[in-house]
Each structure stands twice: as structure tokens, then as C-alpha cells.
Amino acid sequence: MTDKTQNAMWGGRFAAGPDAIMEAINASISFDKRLYAQDIAGSRAHAAMLAATGIISDKDAEAIREGLLTVLSEIEGGNFAFSTALEDIHMNVEARLKEVIGAPAGRLHTARSRNDQVATDFRLWVRDQCDAAIEGLTALQKALLAQAEAGADWVMPGFTHLQTAQPVTWGHHMMAYVEMLARDKSRFADARKRMNESPLGAAALAGTGFPIDRAMTAKALGFDRPMANSLDAVSDRDFALEFLSAAVICAVHLSRFAEELVIWSSAQFRFVTLSDRFSTGSSIMPQKKNPDAAELIRAKIGRILGSAVALFTVMKGLPLAYSKDMQEDKEQVFDAADTLMLALAAMTGMVADMTANRANLEKAALSGFSTATDLADWLVREAGLPFRDAHHATGALVALAEKKGCDLPDLSIGEMTSVHPSITQDIYSVLGVQNSVASRKSYGGTAPDQVREQVARWKALIG
């Protein structure tokens, strides 16, 4: 495109076109072309409203509508030539529309600005990403529910500080992530609800003198209502920041689970076997089966958090209303959304394919004095000891078992009573890991019946 053509876009304001450096830093078409569907949808709604309010003729509105469908078809078919000289998706679409339908294309931009146009396009795109994230999270929840249902009564060690704490069930551990992901879904849903107001019609920053119907365009685009302040409408990027914030928390959850899968699949644990589809080998060590997908998911939080920090930094000092700094919003959100969806898909695949090694889980649960708390509870419940005294007596029994190189159930009744005379043979009923988990029947506990109830509840909720 020549400087003369470029100058025509701006009217008579500038005597010379931008040089190559200015064009490169100013253009956003390399990334905002992803907004083409939202841009065309917004333009179609705007043109229909302009005709309904008598601002443009029905004939021109019909030409615009048909022309925009032609442009949409060209882009979707890969037959559209994007131009950096035209800066962004809005000008690229409008320029092509003029080539397709001629003069009526020039009436499309009546009563709007690129400021409210891009705010609308971007809001529509982020809204779609909230829906996609919720769908991806639901798929992962279903994979976790299948694991939880299969292993509702499989005993494994529960950890604090990555040290054996108390026995839990495999199903209970899987259900912990179902709960986390539910909160992630609620954050995306909440953000979506709050962002579902239309900026279209705010124009550059002050609204417009044309008799537009903003409620009509809002309804056509699936928004609940128009935004109530034109300055806020064009300058707000809270919706993008909220999406990124929800994505960061979700990525933290995925990273935590990925870390567990890395540990559990190691030769030292062997709690799970990951499928070959989500593992790789070593170029030099033939015995290796590396959990690369889990490790990469664990790393993705860095990119998503970086995107959030970048956009928060961009927005922190901007006066009202629009500033060109805000062009830096899209690449951050695009990358974070792509990264999150890939991580969700990979985690869903891993969870669906992985095999929990039940025997190894139970063997690990039997070690590390995991039923010490059950012993202390028994002393409180059956022997009437204050908990602190019971805790002290249990600690002494653990020390004795450590000295002997055995676990608590391996101590004789004589050795038990030497620590506290109130202990009876009945103590052994609580020292088995199966008895331990079965006793945790409080709401939200690890007892298999509780796990099955929670699985059934969640299956009913998400289908």
C-alpha cells in the first residue's frame, strides 16, 4: 500500500505516511486478526441497528450485511490477504468490504469508533474463552470422577509436608481436584457474567449524537445490557484482567496436580503409571519414561502468570479514556488462553489414561505410622485421656516402633501397655489403614461411602 493510500485513511490530517518502524510498532493485525468473527458479528449488529433507527437505508444495510458475509467466508476459507498497512482487523475488514460493495461500506462506521469497536470485539472473544475454559474444566472433572469412582476404597497415604500423615483413599484425593476445578469454573462464570455488557455505541469516548439503539445491538450480540458510561466502556479492560486472574488460579491447580503426577510416577513412588501417549523416553538412558506432559503443564503457570502481570502493568497508569497502550492487551490474553486450554486438554488426557497402582498405594499407606492419629483418638475416646496426653503417649509408641524398626500394628499388647496401661487389645481395630479410612465418615471425609456420595453428587451436577 502506498503512502497516498495510507493518508487517505486518515483524511487530510497527516502530510506523510508513517515509516516502516512506525508501521511495525503501530500495526496489530498480526495478532488481532483472531478477532475477525467477533468484528464481523459486531459490524452486522451495528449495521442492522443503523437501518432500524433510520440512520442508514435498508438497501445500504443489506449490502453491508451481504458484503460482511462475503468477507467472513474469505477469511474462513483462507482467501483473505491481511495488510499491515491497514493496521488492524477493523480496517482490514472495512477496506475489503469497500472493495466488495463499494460506497455503502463507508456508512458502516457511522456512530461508532474503533475504540468501542475493539472493546466490543475483545469482550466477545474473552467471553467465548470463558465458555471454552468451563467446558475444558468440566471434561477434566469427568476424568477425575472416573478415577475417584474406580478407587473410592483404595487406600493411599495422605501427606502433609510431603511426609506420611494419615491414610486417605485414592478417590478422596481425586475428588479434591474436582472441588478445586469447580471453583475455577465458578470464577470464569462469574467473570463472564460481569463482562457481559456491551461497549458498542460508546463511540470514541463520549457517545454519539446519532439516535442509535444500544440496547438493540447489545441484545443482538448476546450481551445483557449496554455499558452505562461511555468513558468506562472504551477504557475498561477489567474483563481481560479477570479472565487472566481466573486463568492464573486455574493454572496453579493444574501445576499442583502435575507436580503430584511427576512424583507419583517416579520409581521411588510408583503410585501411578502414565500412558505412553503422555510420556517420553530418554535419548541416552533406555530405562527412562519421563512424565514430560505433566512437567510442561507444571511450567505453563509461568506463561499465564507472566501475561497477567504484563497486562496489569499496562493498565495501572492509564488515564481515561483510550490509550494506544491498550493494544498490548490482546497478545497477553491470546497466549494465556491458548496455554490454558492446551494444559487442560493435556491434563484431561493424562488423567483419563493413567493407571493407579493399588498395591503400591496401600503398601505406602501401611508405612510411616499413618495411623498414629487414630491411636491418639482411641485413647481419647476409649481411655478418656485428654488429647494432649493421648498425643504424648502416641508419640512414645511411635518412638518405640521406630527403635524396633516396625510399624505401630506390629507392637505387642505388652509393649503398648508399657507406655500406657489403659490400652487394650481393642487398639488394634483402629491401627489398620482400612479401618482408619472407613472411620472418617464426617462430611467431606475420606471414608469410601463419603467419597461415593460426593462422586454421585458431582456426576448429577455436571452430567
- The pLDDT of residue 235 is 96
Other CB atoms within 10 A of residue 421 CB: 9
- The pLDDT of residue 5 is 47
In the residue annotation, 282 being an active-site residue is answered as yes
- The pLDDT of residue 282 is 52
In the residue annotation, 161 being an active-site residue is answered as yes
Q: Is the pTM of this model over 0.75?
A: yes
- The pLDDT of residue 1 is 43
Q: Along the chain (463 residues), what's the average pLDDT of each consecutive run of 10 residues?
A: 48 59 80 94 98 98 97 96 91 96 96 96 98 98 98 93 88 98 98 98 97 98 98 97 98 98 94 84 57 93 96 95 90 96 96 95 82 82 86 88 83 86 82 84 94 97 91
- The pLDDT of residue 296 is 94
Q: Which of 57, 266, 275, 282 is catalytic?
A: 282
